[in-house]
Homo-oligomer: A and B are copies of this chain.
Amino acid sequence: MTDSWATFGTDLHLEPVGQGLRSGLMEALREAVRTGRLAPGTRLPSSRVLAADLGVARNTVADAYAELVAEGWLTARQGSGTRVAQRSAPRRTDPAAARSRPVRPGARYSLKPGSPDLSAFPRTAWLKAARKALTAAPDEAFGYGDPHGRVELRTALAEYLARSRGVHADPDRIVICSGFAHGLTLLGRVLRRRGIRDVAVESYGLDVHRDLLTDAGLRTPCLPLDEHGSRTGEPAALRGAGAVLLTPAHQFPTGVPLHPDRRAAAVDWARSTGGLILEDDYDGEFRYDRQPVGALQGLDPERVVYLGTASKSLAPGLRSGWMVVPESLVAEVAGAKGPANSCGVVDQLTLAEFIGSGAYDRHVRRMRLCYRRRRDELVAALAERAPRIGVTGLSAGLHVVLRLPPGLDERTVVQAAHWQGLAVQGVGAYRHPDAKAETWGGLVVGYGTPSDSAWAGTLEALLQALSAVGDIEGPRPV
């Protein structure tokens, strides 16, 4: 039998040099057992024989055998030598099959909303902030941490949100989360535990947000919407709801800001019923034609939970979000995060430094100019080449809604765009299942999504798609 082991040694593809020999031998033996090359019960050569065969020290082989015995791969019994452990051979997995997970073929261009220009992430400035933050951080910062999040970040955010968004913030009522979805998940859990069953949502919005609430055991009745935003003032609209999810600065996706009377009505509803407003301030930083409309939260910090993120202002990949929470809810919301803070401390400290140093404001200003230029180019191009298309939701954010002329189905345009290599979404994709059907069609155009270099091509693809479906080059309707 000894002869065959010479071959076996070669089969192991060992390179008998350096420190890695023992571990290489172990891995080769594991692999041989795993794949069935070495069947259960097979007796291995003695360490002396295999060592000689491989030209290595006997101890190396003996140690490897001992390890594999400890791990349960091999057994060593007095008098019967070292054998492959008695158990059915592990199922073999096919790495090729595992790797063939289908990848969705990407469209060449995308105007899907919800993402900023990823190519504009300020890598150098971020690294600079990371260096300062990591140098200054106390050792304890690297521990499990407080579920509220790092105090440095909560302090920087309190100052920033008060200044830029009129949020009544103080560090003790801020809870850091890993984005809006995480924040909403935590809030859903807290609301459900408080016995709430219904969280009203706008009749247009993201289904993933509704799903997160549903997953928490909540129902999501739908709040009607018109050109002044969600109709918070109607007595029937919020009846029975324990909370309402709103996008006051720039309704998603229709783009209308919530009318002052509707803001007041929402707060009045919350006060009179003990309800809670969840304010999704998803693109509050980006307003072009006038200064940003301040956050609703400022009107009543005890009845509004403010949710913001760095996903539009910096990048979704940071998974950095924050909630400004009524004092009476802070402990519950932080508690819902679980035993440890779930957000990486390096990013938290870096973002605190990034905000505190003014780099965040500079980046937002730069991006605001960039996005406004794109918006202006989009509007000008449409006016020239597709004047029958109306545009709404212009004054803020990273997307607009193109209103299609009556008779032109948005699905037709989405399909035409697809043939131009352009991914774009119709407003219908965001409609609440219980919403009153609209008589008009529209496209949600996320002009923040392309990189600067792809922008011109993307815009052209959109115009081509629109002209392909025809009937848009007439005079603009009054």
**Is the CB–CB distance between A300 and B90 below 8 Å?**
yes
Contact of A172 among B99, B123, B137 (CB under 8 A): B99
**Is the CB–CB distance between A143 and B166 below 8 Å?**
no
Q: A139-B118, A302-B90 are in contact. Are A27 and B318 (CB under 8 A)?
A: no
Assess whether A54 is interfacial by the CB under 8 Å rule: no
Assess whether A87 is interfacial by the CB under 8 Å rule: yes
Chain B residue numbers with a CB within 8 Å of A70 are: 257, 260, 293
Q: Number of copies of this chain in the oligomer?
A: 2
**Is the CB–CB distance between B71 and A298 below 8 Å?**
yes
Which B residue's beta carbon lies closest to that of A180?
A: B340
Q: A339-B181, A344-B178 are in contact. Are A299 and B140 (CB under 8 A)?
A: no
**Is the CB–CB distance between B168 and A34 below 8 Å?**
yes
Assess whether A271 is interfacial by the CB under 8 Å rule: yes
Assess whether A115 is interfacial by the CB under 8 Å rule: yes
Contact of A115 among B93, B144, B342 (CB under 8 A): B144
**Is the CB–CB distance between B141 and A317 below 8 Å?**
yes
Q: A143-B316, A318-B346 are in contact. Are A299 and B72 (CB under 8 A)?
A: yes
**Is the CB–CB distance between A178 and B342 below 8 Å?**
yes
**Is the CB–CB distance between B317 and A144 below 8 Å?**
yes
Chain B residue numbers with a CB within 8 Å of A163 are: 23, 27
Bound-state CA distance A319–B347 (Å) is: 11
**Is the CB–CB distance between A451 and B139 below 8 Å?**
yes
Which B residue's beta carbon lies closest to that of A318?
A: B344
Assess whether A386 is interfacial by the CB under 8 Å rule: no
**Is the CB–CB distance between B143 and A315 below 8 Å?**
yes
Contact of A294 among B71, B140, B301 (CB under 8 A): B71
Contact pattern, A 318-362, Cβ under 8 Å of B = 1, otherwise 0: 111000000100000000001111111111001000000000000
Which B residue's beta carbon lies closest to that of A91?
A: B302
A-B contacts, 6 listed (Cβ < 8 Å): A67-B293, A71-B299, A72-B296, A98-B327, A127-B131, A179-B342
Bound-state CA distance A143–B299 (Å) is: 33
Bound-state CA distance A144–B178 (Å) is: 11
Chain B residue numbers with a CB within 8 Å of A298 are: 30, 34, 71, 73
**Is the CB–CB distance between A345 and B327 below 8 Å?**
no
**Is the CB–CB distance between A87 and B134 below 8 Å?**
no
Q: A30-B166, A30-B294, A300-B90 are in contact. Are A340 and B315 (CB under 8 A)?
A: no
Assess whether A78 is interfacial by the CB under 8 Å rule: no
Chain B residue numbers with a CB within 8 Å of A344 are: 178, 317-320, 343-344, 347
Q: A71-B263, A293-B71, A294-B30 are in contact. Are A101 and B317 (CB under 8 A)?
A: no
Chain B residue numbers with a CB within 8 Å of A127 are: 127, 130-131, 134
Bound-state CA distance A168–B93 (Å) is: 10
Q: A181-B338, A319-B341, A347-B344 are in contact. Are A299 and B166 (CB under 8 A)?
A: no
**Is the CB–CB distance between A271 and B119 below 8 Å?**
no
Which B residue's beta carbon lies closest to that of A340?
A: B181
Bound-state CA distance A459–B143 (Å) is: 21
Chain B residue numbers with a CB within 8 Å of A141 are: 118, 317
Bound-state CA distance A264–B91 (Å) is: 15
Interface contacts beyond A142-B315, A346-B346: sample of 12 additional A-B pairs, CB < 8 Å, sorted by A: A22-B291, A63-B291, A67-B291, A71-B166, A71-B294, A72-B296, A88-B271, A121-B139, A144-B317, A178-B178, A319-B342, A319-B345
Assess whether A212 is interfacial by the CB under 8 Å rule: yes
Query: How many Å from the CB of A63 to the closest CB on chain B?
Result: 7
Interface residues of A in 359-393 (CB under 8 A from B): none
Query: How many Å from the CB of A157 to the closest CB on chain B?
Result: 15
Chain B residue numbers with a CB within 8 Å of A263 are: 71-72
**Is the CB–CB distance between A27 and B143 below 8 Å?**
no
Assess whether A267 is interfacial by the CB under 8 Å rule: yes
**Is the CB–CB distance between A27 and B166 below 8 Å?**
yes
For the complex of A and B, 8 pairs with smallest distance between CB atoms? A317-B345, A72-B263, A142-B315, A142-B317, A98-B172, A71-B294, A144-B316, A119-B139
**Is the CB–CB distance between A342 and B182 below 8 Å?**
yes
Bound-state CA distance A23–B294 (Å) is: 10
Assess whether A201 is interfacial by the CB under 8 Å rule: no
Assess whether A69 is interfacial by the CB under 8 Å rule: yes
Which B residue's beta carbon lies closest to that of A258?
A: B72
Contact pattern, A 169-188, Cβ under 8 Å of B = 1, otherwise 0: 01011000011011001000
Which B residue's beta carbon lies closest to that of A69?
A: B260
Chain B residue numbers with a CB within 8 Å of A101 are: 172
Contact pattern, A 426-461, Cβ under 8 Å of B = 1, otherwise 0: 000000000000000000000000010000000000
